[in-house]
A and B are shown apart, each in its own frame.
Chain A
């Protein structure tokens, strides 16, 4: 294997890692906030606000219904406004985050909803305010499950980032399409797939390990 092609692999891998990690960070923060709001504003939540809850829920469904490749194009003006350009790796991060924030928000919401109501009741009885309950009960108790959700999201993100090539985002997926599909260099495609499998496995095992470490339920 010659050095230039090895460089290309490394370059593509770094692009993928950059896109996935930055988008992940955004999706985790925004998704968690949305999940907490969804959980808290539910009818039996800490701050029942049924109308806000419904509006937010419908908005999330709308975003989740749009296929990524369409979102990529539809968000071009937003991307230009935030990043300053519609091309490149950073430009791909905007639609990638926009696609996975609602995805992760739903997963985290399920985790938060499955926290036992008895724990929240106990916290209220001991004189916890509502933000105390979010901080000391909801988030820590749901953490192992949320970590599992993050793993699923990160892997979905690696998968989706393959399409980022459409806006010149680069990355492993883009490389596989350009060299493997368009130039019939099957070897390159095969290598990329091996790297992706390794990447996904590492993320999966790391996620499981973290979830196990934080889970004290057994």
Chain B
């Protein structure tokens, strides 16, 4: 039986490292074999399916391949993050969903409809079911906030009175009721993005596409916009596909993540899985700011061997996220013994999975690797080296 039910047609399936399954997943699939689907287990509800997607641009310097054979599915109601460095093809991939860019080969299906086959009327109808927000907001400077938010309805021929009410409701939702008659230039970045969100939602879409929606915002504003997106996802149940180069955005709100590098899918899965156990260099590079690597001052003092002198062993304890639904017990850390110190690191709870890295020092004499592994079975323990006591 397939453990990858969301990937029935994907030809590039085998090249993609499929993430390790958690105990729960295996348990689930075993039960399914025995008794059929669990009443609580929902069947995969594919909303957007990418199928062998390719995009080539022919320029003066020859052909540039932006996407090579990209296949994956986005399920209904999830927040799906696509991350990659600049030029990885994220933007092209996102724009293939509403056909702002047409692929060179392969197809994208929204609710099983191949968007590449639609004529202009059908495409307009599709786009009215898909909202989109942008890094630079793309609000019309010559229109007020109210006119900007109402424009999608206005061009769809909705009556002015209905437009007015709908715009009021959306401005209420994004907390900008008092700014209705202001021009966008008078708003802050965060407020502009809220207007962008209101405009994207005015049609009651089923899908929201976010193109680096928080990349031009300061951290505090980013947080409030992400909170709003999470709220919208919960309240309205819409599917959100977002692209970003910022891992913390993914960690904050995404359920699933796909790592794109040089136009190819290098990794994908639940966020806690990819974060807890990144397989590819591209992923690790993107994760670096969140990884709590060894601080420089400590790294400088690290030696391979103490040569019998007193000192501490430096351990990197990595929690990949599976097997610790209750978090990391203090008792387990305490069991590492007297003189153990927590030096550096952090844990994140991502959808119920404790995941992260801790840097721990232990007196080199008398520490037992075997013992440590036994007390922390869910962790990967790595001895980075030793530091002399007197330095």
Residues of A in contact with B (beta carbons under 8 Å apart) = 116, 118-119, 121-129, 132, 136-137, 140-141, 143, 214, 216-218
Contacts and interface: CB of A to CB of B under 8 A. Distances in A.
Interface string B124-146: 11011011101010111111000
A144 to B, nearest CB: 8
A137 B130 CA distance: 20
B100 A126 contact: no
B142 A125 contact: no
B138 A141 contact: no
A118 B124 CA distance: 18
Contact of B142 (A124, A126, A129, A143): A143
Nearest to A116: B138
Interface in B152-184: 152, 154-156, 183-184
B185 interface: yes
B119 interface: no
24 contacts: A116-B138, A121-B100, A122-B138, A124-B100, A124-B127, A125-B100, A125-B131, A126-B127, A126-B128, A126-B131, A126-B132, A126-B151, A126-B199, A126-B200, A126-B203, A127-B124, A127-B152, A127-B203, A128-B124, A136-B154, A141-B140, A216-B142, A216-B184, A217-B141
B98 interface: yes
A131 to B, nearest CB: 9
B120 interface: yes
A132 B128 CA distance: 14
Given A141-B142, A214-B142, A127 B136 contact: no
A136 B136 contact: no
Interface string B203-244: 100000100000000000000000000000000000000000
B96 to A, nearest CB: 13
Given A116-B138, A125-B98, A127-B155, A216 B127 contact: no
Contacts of B130: 125
Contacts of A116: 138
Q: Indicate the member of A119, A126, A136, A140 with the most B CB atoms within 10 Å.
A: A126
Given A125-B130, A127-B156, A128-B155, A136 B140 contact: yes
A216 B184 CA distance: 8
A218 to B, nearest CB: 6
Given A124-B127, A127-B203, A143-B142, A216 B155 contact: no
A136 B185 CA distance: 18
Interface size class for chain B? Answer: 20 to 34
Interface string B277-314: 00000000000000000000000000000000000000
Nearest to A124: B100
Contacts of B139: 122
Nearest to B138: A122
A32 B154 CA distance: 24
Contacts of A132: 155
Contact of A218 (B138, B185, B199, B200): B185
Nearest to B151: A136
A129 B121 CA distance: 9
B151 A118 contact: no
Contacts of A216: 141-142, 183-185
B127 A119 contact: no
A134 to B, nearest CB: 12
Nearest to A128: B155
Interface string B185-210: 10000000000000110010000010
Q: What 7 pairs between A and B have smallest CB-CB spacing?
A: A122-B138, A216-B183, A126-B152, A140-B142, A125-B132, A127-B127, A127-B128
A141 B141 contact: yes
B189 to A, nearest CB: 15
Given A124-B100, A132-B155, A118 B138 contact: yes
Contacts of A218: 185
Given A127-B127, A127-B152, A122 B134 contact: yes
Nearest to A119: B138
Contacts of A126: 127-128, 131-132, 151-152, 155, 199-200, 203
Contacts of A119: 138, 140
Nearest to B128: A127
B88 to A, nearest CB: 20
B40 to A, nearest CB: 37
B120 A129 contact: yes
Given A122-B132, A127-B124, A132-B155, 6 more contacts: A125-B209, A126-B152, A127-B125, A127-B203, A129-B124, A136-B154
Contacts of A121: 100, 134, 138
Contacts of B209: 125
A119 B98 CA distance: 16
B119 to A, nearest CB: 12
A118 B136 contact: yes
Interface string B22-56: 00000000000000000000000000000000000
B238 to A, nearest CB: 15
Interface in B235-261: none
Nearest to A144: B142
A53 B112 CA distance: 38
A201 B131 CA distance: 48
Contacts of B131: 125-126
A132 B130 CA distance: 18
Contacts of B143: 136, 140
Contact of B134 (A118, A137, A214): A118
B211 to A, nearest CB: 9
